[in-house]
Each structure stands twice: as C-alpha cells, then as structure tokens.
Amino acid sequence: MTTTQARTEPEHAQGTDPHAGHAAVPAAGHGGHGPHGYSAQKDAHLKRLRRIEGQIRGLQRMVDEDVYCIDVLTQVSASTKALQSFALSLLEEHLRHCVAAAAEEGGAELDAKVAEATAAISRLLRS
C-alpha cells in the first residue's frame, strides 16, 4: 500500500473486515491452510491470475511506450473485468464450500459466514 492509499482509504472498523489490507493473512478462525472453497481449482486460479498479471504488465508497457490514452483505458477496462470475473468465481466457490458447510452446522457459524460473504459482496460492489 502506498502512503497516499494509506491516507485516502477509509479505515475499517475492527471486526467488519478481518483481512482488509492483509490479503495473505487469513481471517480469524479460518486457519492458514486449506482446504478452502477454491482449493480444488487452485491451479486454474493461479493460471488465471498470471494471465491478469500479464495484462497489468502490458498496461505498464503501454504507458511506457506512450500508447494512445483511449487504448490504455480499453486495456484497463479489460483487466478490471478479468479481476471482477475472478472475484465472482472465488465468491461462488466460497458460497458453495464455506457457507454451505456452515449451513450444515447452523447457528452462530452460519450467521458469521453469511455476514462475511455479505461484506465481501459489498466490497465487490464498491470496487
């Protein structure tokens, strides 16, 4: 996170987003190890993320080479859509795996997973 981002991004209330700003740190109660909902598709997800990473590197090259701004914006849009598509896929797997497992347990565990999924959806809608 850059200094500018740190100053301009809203602070997250404690407990509302256990891993905001810490993508590599698992949320409380999740442990650091799978299997998570995406584990069965891990190789496909990594391949997809590497493709998106290539798109971002392409954007860097375009800016470096002074490519026409509309062409750069078109590539930004494509990269954004690729990330959104990845996020939706991951969310679906979370609902099918983690939320479904919590539904079997019911009670507080289900309530927590639904709240967590709702917060994730809210973040996706704001992005």
- Structure-token pair, residue 114: 């639904």
The answer to whether 67 and 50 are in contact (CB under 8 A) is no
Bigger pLDDT: 29 or 127?
127
Residue 2, helix vs strand vs coil: coil
The reported pTM is: 0.67
Bigger pLDDT: 16 or 43?
43
Distance (Å) of CA 63 to CA 15, 54, 78, 80: 39, 14, 16, 17
Predicted confidence (pLDDT) per residue in 58-67, tens digit: 999 999 999 9
- DSSP assignment, residue 27? P
